[in-house]
Amino acid sequence: MKTLFTKKILATLLTSAVLLSACGGDDGKDGATGPAGATGTAGATGPKGDTGATGATGATGPKGDTGATGPQGSAGSNGTDATAPAKLIRLATTPMGSELTGMFKTDNGEFFFNIQHPSDTLPGDEKKAAVGVWNGVDLDKLDPKISQVPVPVKGSAESQTTKVAIGSYQALGREGDTYAGALPFGFGHITNPAGTASVKQSNNPDFNAFIPSNATGSEGYLFSAWEDRPGGVSRLNIAKQSDGTWRVNDAMNVNFGNVKGTMINCFGTVSPWGTPLTSEENYEAENTIRWNDVTYSTGYPNYADVLKIKEYLGGTFPNPYDYGYIVEITQPKAAAPVAVKHFTMGRSAHENPVIMPDKKTVYLTDDGSNKGFYKFVADVAGDMSAGTLYAAKVTQDATNDTAKAGFDIEWIMLAHASNAQIKTWIDSYNGINESNYVSGATNYITDAQVTAWANGTAPDNRVAFLETLRAAKAKGATVEFNKMEGININYDGVKDRSVPFMYVAMAEVRGAMADTTGDIQVKENRCGAVYRFGLDANYNVDRMQPVIVGGAYNGTSTTDKCDVNGVAQPDNIEVLDDGRVLIGEDTSNHINNMLWIYNPAGV
């Protein structure tokens, strides 16, 4: 390549020389164009030029077709109902003239209750007292915001039967039912101990106790007390069916002949060891002086009632000190259950006892006017045959407002004794009858003997157990309570402290509770109240506080004298697993008695 380049240069120089030598001559013709030189090598690539400006946006294209509708989205979750539950909801109403009694909840949330002494003007079977069950409900899972039962219109069909908020009421038996001959004289008949004669037909079923006979609680024995003079207890063998109703398989009456019968069997409870506890509500316990007075016609019991007990006993005049106790029905599943009277818990108008989870401490209410409130502590857990009896002394808060006034409680010891010891004192009054009565005197314990006992000069403690109210008064306890009714706890809730409360119904706040003397001086409330006690770890109580009061009261009303949106003369109490409280009425101040549920968290 270098040689060729050199040759080209030399040729060019030679040509140039020739041309220079001919400068002065004429120009010759141009020679022919030589051939093109060979192409030179390519030069190096130049630097990248600047980016050009962005071109203009193109025109919008035509609108596309609408797409198909997508599937519907899933429903959102329900919002939270922030409305607070009501404090008091009406769950049931009973037929005109009847009392709602026998409230008992099973461990499965089933609920038994009775229709006591309904009006005899009601149609068909509705005029007959009934022992029954509320089907289609689990009370421990009851909606706190359930719609309440409407108040029946007076004279309407609803006012003549039992209405419940959900489900239905099933009568397991009505007064007079024979159960295919199992009860020859009929359901509610009080028979003599041999069962060969009827003393009277009762229409006053009260306390119920269901004692299960299998592991699921679908079968068992329903004990029902009959509140009469003399009293009684029936036992139905029942089983739950696949449709939720109950079938009665058999029926019998408990024989109380071994304890000389019972009287005015009121409310009750079941012991922690599974035995029914029925209560003898002897309103005349402190009025023993009139027991053998043939002219005494106004008492409860009166002389006519005493004669009925005499008939039950086959002609023996009854000893007054045999009646007015807590009666335990032992061996409840046996063919022949055995009754035991616990004289150790005192003689009074017992509404019911409630035994604490220590199986030793018992609280007891005394129904009627100018009454006391008692506690019994057994010597041995599970054995009520010996122990110590106490009476309450209360101190009122500095207000007379029934809805606010609570009471501090101290306990005054009355005495210690055993059933066996007390029985010897009772038997010392056997053989007394009408022929021994002297007007103005007594054949039984005298006021002087009560005073001597209170002063510590009596030879024994019989006064404390045979004349319990008089003993409590002599020792300075409070004897001003009026119509102190059902008292109850939720056993498991008290045991594990999740519901550490006890509740009691006061049917009416009046009389000695509403005067201007003594330990209790609150305003009268004819519609009643419910009080709550806090229980400490040892099951002691030292305080009671009102949580529900009835009213307003209109004594001139020809229909409901107490406001139908509140309780009227509360009686039975049942405490649910979550702490809510069932309240049953025993009242003439509502045309139709009602079942309520009280929610402590309600408004």
43/49 Cα distance (integer angstroms): 17
User: What average pLDDT does range 4-14 have in this prediction?
Assistant: 33
Alpha carbon distance 366, 112 (integer Å): 24
- Chain centroid to Cα 399, Å, comes to 29
Instruction: Give residue 77's pLDDT.
Output: 72
What confidence tens digit (pLDDT) does each residue in 400-409 have? 999 999 999 9
**Which residue carries 């009854």 as its tokens?**
318
- Average pLDDT (64-85) is 71
Q: Which helix (H) or strand (E) holds 65?
A: none
* Element containing residue 354 per DSSP (H, E): strand 350-355
List the one residue out of 134, 141, 340, 131 whose CA is nearest residue 221.
Answer: 131
Q: 10 Å Cβ neighbour count for 192?
A: 17
Residues 6+ apart with CB under 8 A from 194: 257
Question: Which pLDDT band, with edges at 50, 70 and 90, does 146 fall under?
Answer: very high
Here the tokens at position 176 are: 């007079």
Q: Is the pLDDT of residue 6 over 90?
A: no
Laid out side by side, the sheet with 543-549 consists of: 350-355, 361-366, 373-380, 383-396, 407-418, 543-549, 529-534, 501-506, 484-488
Which of 24-38, 46-60, 469-483 is least confident? 24-38
Average pLDDT taken over every residue of the chain = 91
Structure confidence at residue 48 (pLDDT): 63
Residue ranges of domains in the chain, CATH in brackets: 88-598 (2.120.10.30)
Q: Residue 518 CA to chain centroid, in angstroms?
A: 33
Share of the chain above pLDDT 90, in %: 86
pLDDT in tens, 148-182: 999 999 999 999 999 999 999 999 999 999 999 99
CB 331 within 8 A of CB 338: yes
Going by the DSSP 8-state scheme, the letter that residue 518 receives in this structure is: S
Q: What is the pLDDT of residues 519-529, one digit of tens each?
A: 999 999 999 99
- Please return the burial class of 87, using the count of CB atoms within 10 Å of its CB with bins 0-12, 13-18 and 19+: middle
Residue 247: strand, helix, or coil: strand
Q: Do the bridges between strand 570-575 and strand 543-549 make them parallel or antiparallel, or are there none, so unpaired?
A: unpaired
Residues near 425 by beta carbon (within 8 Å), at least 6 away in sequence: 321, 460, 462, 465, 466
Q: Is residue 226 within 8 Å of residue 188, measured between CB atoms?
A: yes
Residue 9: band (very low, low, confident or very high) from pLDDT cuts 50, 70, 90: very low
Task: Scan for tokens 């050199």, then name that residue.
Answer: 6
pLDDT reading at 310 higher than 70: yes
- pLDDT confidence band for 10 (50 / 70 / 90): very low
Q: Determine the 3-state secondary structure of 428 from DSSP.
A: coil
Long-range contacts of 301-307 (CB under 8 A, 24+ apart): 301/229, 301/263, 301/264, 305/229, 305/263
Structure confidence by residue, pLDDT tens digits, 228-246? 999 999 999 999 999 999 9
pLDDT band at 11 (very low <50, low <70, confident <90, very high): very low
pLDDT band for position 57 (50/70/90)?
low
CA distances from 421 to 279, 353, 428, 456, 534 (A): 21, 22, 12, 19, 34
Q: Is the peptide bond before 403 cis (omega within 30 degrees of 0)?
A: no
CA distance 487 to 365: 7
